[in-house]
Amino acid sequence: MTARATVKGLRDRRRATADRRFGARLLGSAAAAAITAVPFGLLLVLIEGQWGPLRRLDAGAARRLHGTALEHPAWTSVLRFLSDRVWDPVTLRTAVALLTLWLVYRRAWRLAAWSAVTAVAGGFIGLLVKTVVERARPSLEDPVARAPGFSFPSGHAMTATTSFAVMLLVLLPLVPRSWRPLCWGAAVLSVVGVGFTRVALGVHWFSDVLGGWLLGLTVVALTAWAFEAWRADTGRPPAAVGEGLEPELTEDRPEAGTSA
């Protein structure tokens, strides 16, 4: 066997290995989307059918947390600050918009497009589902907060899910490996915290928040799946979730690794 044939054989084996890994990861992305989309659809069916156990869960959570909010006004003020200032959809969308502009500055064109599309698609889909379902918000005596519009899914919960996912998947390559678990923990805690504040303030049912989380995860899974397919088309190796969507973002000349 000649040296040229040996090199060709090695390249073929590497290509086949890369194809198998990509196929597995792409299948995993599709499975992740299905895993989140199916529970969301089931939840929507249960809400529309006014399933008794779910209605009792929603009512019980709203009643208990509302009672706590009335008894502890200082605690309620903290929740309102977190919900209306720190984790407000406008704040989170602004953060994603600034991140997208930074990616454009770095000439990470497709990563910037992924960030923008994920954020915009999440907002549009959430608003569309709200309009179709037209679920009323909780009606409580002595409410500690009010919110306009329909209830399902929670826009706060969905925006937090998509926004923190975008920030994580974009910025992870720039974070030292030892700090990455802390970043994941902070993101998860923030997303869960957003949902808690909305139920505790009496402006959403628990199932609204759960729906927002599931729908947000579905949007992220689908757009990440599309981004992974683009990487394969350009001959780039698949990226592990723990490395972010574009590990090449750490390169000294980002345009070399992320431009078209």
Residue 240: the pLDDT is 63
Question: Quick one: average pLDDT of 181-198?
Answer: 92
Question: Quick one: average pLDDT of 69-98?
Answer: 88
Residue 254: the pLDDT is 43
Contact 203, 197 (CB under 8 A): no
Handedness of CA 161, 167, 170, 171 (dihedral sign): negative
**How do residues 88-147 score in pLDDT, each as one tens digit?**
899 999 999 999 999 999 888 888 888 998 998 888 888 888 888 888 888 877 777 788
Per-residue pLDDT band at 257 (split at 50, 70, 90): very low
Contact 133, 48 (CB under 8 A): yes
Per-residue pLDDT band at 256 (split at 50, 70, 90): very low
Burial of 73-96, coded b for 16+ CB within 10 Å and e otherwise, reads eeebeebbebbbeebbbeebbeeb
Question: What are the angstrom distances between the C-alpha of 139 and each of 110, 201, 208, 227, 245?
Answer: 44, 12, 14, 42, 42
* % of the chain beyond a pLDDT of 90: 25
Is the pLDDT at 74 greater than 60? The verdict is yes
Residue 76: the pLDDT is 86
Domain boundaries, the chain: 21-252
Per-residue pLDDT band at 12 (split at 50, 70, 90): low
- What are 100-105's contacts with CB under 8 Å, separation 24+? 103/170
pTM: 0.79
